[in-house]
Amino acid sequence: DILAGNPHADRLGNADVWHFYTEPVAGSAAAGPSIAEGSLLAKWLAASKHDERGRLAEALARLLGAGPPNEAESPDAKLFRQLASFAGPLLRKAREDAAAGRSGERERSPSAGDWGVDPSLFGRLPTGASANGVVDSVADAIDASSLCVVAPSVIAVRLPAGLAAGWEFVASGSLHAAAAEDAAVQLQANMEKPAGASPLRADLPIVVRDAGKSRQRIEAALDEFRRVFPPALCYTKIVPVDEVVTLTLFYREDEQLRRLMLDDDQAARLDRLWDELHYVSHDALTLVDAYAQLMEYATQDADPSVFEPLRKPIHERAASFRRRLIDTEPRHVDAVLRFAALAYRRPLTDSEAAELRALYERLRKEDVSHAEAVRLTLARVFVSAAFLYKIETPPAGKASGAVNDWELASRLSYFLWSSQPDAELRSLATAGKLREEAALRAQVRRMLGDPKVRRLATEFACQWLHIRDVAELDEKSERHFPTFLALRGAMQEESTRFFADLFARGGSVLEILDADHTFLNEGLAKHYGIEGVVGDVVGNDGEAWRRVDGMKARGRGGLLAQAATLAKQSGASRTSPILRGTWVSEVLLGERMPRPPKDVPPLPDDEAATADLTVRQLVERHVSDAKCAVCHRRFDHYGFALENFDAIGRWRDKDLAGRAIDASVVTPEGIEMNGVAGLRGYLLTERRDDFVRQFCRKLLGYALGRAVQLSDEPLLGEMQTALEKNEYDVGLAVEMIVLSRQFREIRGRDAAGEE
């Protein structure tokens, strides 16, 4: 009878909890038989008095020993058949053992006294006094069906597996009336006996007196915990968000963060960020719609009066937010004008500011929303010539004149950072101090030390050296070089980091050729055959870059031995001494080479299929014609000196066909050199001035945004002389360009077309 056993308090102290028992419609041995109504066992279960239950138990034992009653359909006869049948509970264990094929001597079952709990422990206090004995007070007594222990304590309850299978063990516990006022205990039910006292568990209740000191103490401790750790740290989900509607769009809980970690300025910034989030999200308006939907659901399935108190504050907040939107619209237009000044890289003229304001106002009069009107006004800024071009105003006449501070700031910023001036440059331009020589020198050194100087490495150095696009190079044979695609980005990064570091620390221009260091990650180091470069010190992610010294001793050093250069100036499946030699001659030394004739037959693509000839021998045979030799003798030796590097920059002693590499050469002037070390030494001694001059020419042309002209020759000569006297400081080269008339002045309006 379900009603007879419900409701009652559960093990967590919740009153009036309902419990239900279910069984399959079709009974089975696993589920166990149902008890016949009116049988001895049914009466035993229903009995409440101890004596009566004992009498019924004895009668049940006699029934099983005597055999089934004569009346076949009586309740006890049905009970006997259920208990004594092969599928019944008494023979269940034997049936399971037989099904599992178990044999041999069985372990002796525990005696009846081993099961459950010693009956003598019930109804007794820890001192040994019985519930019916003499105690200090009535409140100290316990009933005969209860146990009383002093914590910490373990009560072992041993039950037959067949009896316990499929059932839940439930026990209820409370503090004894005689326990101390500050007592507290936590109850646990475990399948195994613990080794000692268990630590406090957060998922189990703590039993205390309702108004005792222990309750106050524990609640205070929990409150202190909550003051340090917000609920969001302890629970994966604080606010349940319905797929259809929710009244909590953003859940803010950062009081602990503010109190424990932030100062006043940081706390104010946090509040401002939250305010910006609410403003941008328009959640005050969204909440009105969500509330309306919620009320519709509540009207159908619940009591809408519960949500009625929320109506007024939600609508008041929305009305306040609408007023704020209107009040802040002029500030947005002002922000557009400030942004336009940044985009134009100078202060707006009065007419430009008036034009943008007029555009916004005209759009609003045409019933365009505020947000859309702001977008269209911004679009007007982006299509303006002042944004798209670096416009400079030349002086009247033919004579040159100085650019103004704002124009100079743009020239300097785009030269070194490939971007608009930052706040410090704008501040100096506003004060009219940027044109001062001391200010320019200071800004050059500051900007070279900024991480944005990486753009100078990318846009100037990598473009000058024709390695700007190595990361996208897809012309290598995957059959010959299957690792190239995974490494090409690292090859590009090595060269970029090399030049960014050179500019940032003011290294020597000669380091481009003679550096004994480079920058590697784990993948590129393995490609070069360099050990000891493994991931990152902390993360070990294999992508960490670091400076590696001693490269010359490993056959590397400087730009000539970097994979980006060697891979770019090679073929798809072989090296190309002609490409590499031409690159050294034209790009590094500034020599002009005539274009090759159109009818020159190409060399084989695969160096492993060249009729027993090395690539070098093929080139030498190719230029045996005297007409070809005139040009090739000017650069082939540079390419031959780099033949120890394959088409993707790996060191090799033999080519793909297993033939030995010969990297020894003699220059046209009779100078012998061998390999990359010999070529490096030749360029640094015999061709140093040519290389430095080429660097200065390329840097000056990049800074001015035009080709170098005859009028620039004096400046180039001064730069070479100054570099030679100052250890070829690359920062000095930048300074001299920035301080030059070419960089600081603009030709007159009437001389714009003259050379």
Residue 339 has pLDDT above 90, yes or no: yes
What is the C-alpha to C-alpha distance for residues 79 and 42, in angstroms, rounded to an integer?
9
Number of other residues whose CB lies within 10 A of the CB of residue 226: 12
Lowest-confidence segment of 280-284, 660-664, 720-724 by average pLDDT: 660-664
Distance CA 407, CA 345 (A): 8
Specify the pLDDT at position 239.
58
Phi, psi (deg, nearest 5) at residue 20: -130, 150
pLDDT at 98: 57
- Residue range 689-709: average pLDDT? 96
From the list 90, 4, 88, 82, the residue with the least C-alpha distance to 46 is 4
Q: Over 50: is that where the pLDDT of 177 sits?
A: yes
Mean pLDDT of 359-364: 97
pLDDT cut 70: percent of the chain above it: 85
| Residue 345 confidence (pLDDT) | 96
Average pLDDT over residues 701-709: 95
Rounded to 5 degrees, what are φ and ψ at 732? -65, -40
Q: Identify the pLDDT of residue 241.
A: 57
Q: What is the pLDDT of residue 355?
A: 97
- pLDDT tier for residue 105 given thresholds of 50, 70 and 90: very low
List C-alpha distances in Å: 650 to 15, 481, 561, 698.
79, 10, 9, 29
401 phi and psi angles, rounded to 5 deg: -145, 160
> Does residue 21 register a pLDDT over 60?
no
Q: Which strand (E) or helix (H) includes residue 518?
A: strand 517-520
User: pLDDT tens digits, residue range 190-217?
Assistant: 888 888 777 888 888 899 988 878 888 8
d(CA 430, CA 121): 93
Segment 321-343 shows an average pLDDT of 96
Q: What pLDDT score was predicted for residue 635?
A: 80
Distances from the Cα of 741 to the Cα of 64, 372, 401, 477, 746, angstroms: 120, 46, 9, 50, 8
Is residue 150 pLDDT above 60, yes or no?
yes
Please give the pLDDT value at position 80.
Answer: 83
What average pLDDT does this structure show over 12-28?
63
Tell the residue number behind the tokens 């990297």, with chain if given.
Answer: 663
The answer for residues whose C-beta is within 8 angstroms of residue 178's C-beta and 6 or more apart is 136, 137, 139, 140
pLDDT value for 711? 93
SS3 225: helix
pLDDT tens for 515-558 read 999 999 999 999 999 998 887 655 555 578 999 999 999 999 99
Q: How confident is the model over 620-652, as pLDDT tens digits?
A: 766 666 666 667 777 888 998 999 999 999 999
pLDDT of residue 134: 44
pLDDT digits (tens, 9 = 90+) for 423-445: 999 999 999 999 999 999 999 99
Q: According to the model, what pLDDT value does residue 342 have?
A: 96
pLDDT beyond 90 at 62:
no
Mean pLDDT computed over 602-630: 68
- The pLDDT, as a whole number, for residue 597 is 66
- CA atoms of 131 and 148, how far apart (whole Å): 10
**Does residue 27 carry a pLDDT above 50?**
no
- The CA distance from 655 to 639, in Å, is 15
Q: Which range among 114-118, 138-142, 196-200, 317-321 shows the weakest confidence by mean pLDDT?
A: 138-142
- Looking from the CA of 371 toward its CB, the CA atoms found within 13 Å total 3
pLDDT value of position 33: 54
Judge residue 426's burial from the number of C-beta atoms within 10 Å of its C-beta, 0-12 exposed, 13-18 middle, 19 or more buried: buried
Q: Give the pLDDT band of residue 316 (cuts 50, 70, 90).
A: very high
pLDDT (0 to 100) of residue 29:
44
Is the model's pLDDT at 109 over the cut of 70?
no
pLDDT digits (tens, 9 = 90+) for 255-273: 888 888 999 999 999 999 9
How confident is the model over 485-500, as a mean pLDDT? 96
pLDDT of amino acid 699: 98
Q: How far apart are the C-alpha atoms of 485 and 6, rounded to whole Å?
A: 73
Report the residue count for the chain: 755
| Per-residue pLDDT, 501 | 97
Quote the pLDDT of residue 211: 80
What lies within 8 Å, CB to CB, of 531 at 6+ separation is 525
How far is the C-alpha of 498 from the C-alpha of 518, rounded, in Å? 6
C-alpha pair distances (Å), 423 with each of 41, 274, 342: 92, 27, 10
Q: Where is pLDDT greater, at 108 or 432?
A: 432
pLDDT band (50, 70, 90) for residue 138: very low
Report pLDDT for 743.
Answer: 96
Cα 595 to Cα 150, 566, 586, 600, 631, distances in angstroms: 102, 22, 12, 11, 10
Model confidence over 67-102: pLDDT tens digits?
Answer: 778 787 888 888 887 777 766 677 666 666 655 655
**Percentage of the chain with pLDDT > 90?**
50
SS3 20: coil
Quote the mean pLDDT of the chain: 86
